[in-house]
Amino acid sequence: MGGWVDLDINQGDDIMNLNKLFMVNIGVAGLFGLGFVFAPEAMLAPYGMSAETISASVIMSRLLGASNIGYAILFWFIMNAPASETKIEVAKAVSIAFVVSCLVSIAVQMSGEIGPLGWSTVALYAIFAAAYGYFGFVKGAED
């Protein structure tokens, strides 16, 4: 199988596939980060939030964007680092962070403050949580 979450892979391929996951996350975090830093209103509008809520959310959105840019930079550096236990530990930490983000996103989505597009955020966090969890907890425990 050639997917980035391939269940039949050896040690060398694990790191290569984890690196591919980091690469995908660099793109996602980088794009969202830049969008939220430079155009927070445009990033929030498709989610069906009221103008008042968007206006009140600009500062926090920019801070979220700055954090996403920081994560993209972190993933860039760790992706280019040699294979190590550190990569596995980063995958574990990121997986836990994505689980928390997913739960928060579900709570926000259930509150009705955000339109149906908000479920895409839940899905994105869940996918990243599962993928990093796989590399951090499943494959890391086997080595």
How far apart, in whole angstroms, are the C-alpha atoms of residue 16 and residue 14? Answer: 5
Sole residue written with tokens 């996403």: 68
* pLDDT number for residue 117: 95
Please list the ranges in the chain whose pLDDT falls under 70.
Answer: 1-16, 140-143
Distance separating alpha carbons of residues 95 and 93, to the nearest angstrom: 5
Q: Is the Cβ–Cβ distance between 98 and 127 less than 8 Å? A: no
Condensed to tens digits (0 to 9), the pLDDT of residues 40-60 reads 999 999 999 999 999 999 999
- What pTM value is reported for the model? 0.83
Task: Report how far residue 84's alpha carbon sits from residue 91's, in angstroms, rounded to the nearest whole number.
Answer: 11
| Six token digits for residue 131 | 């993928």
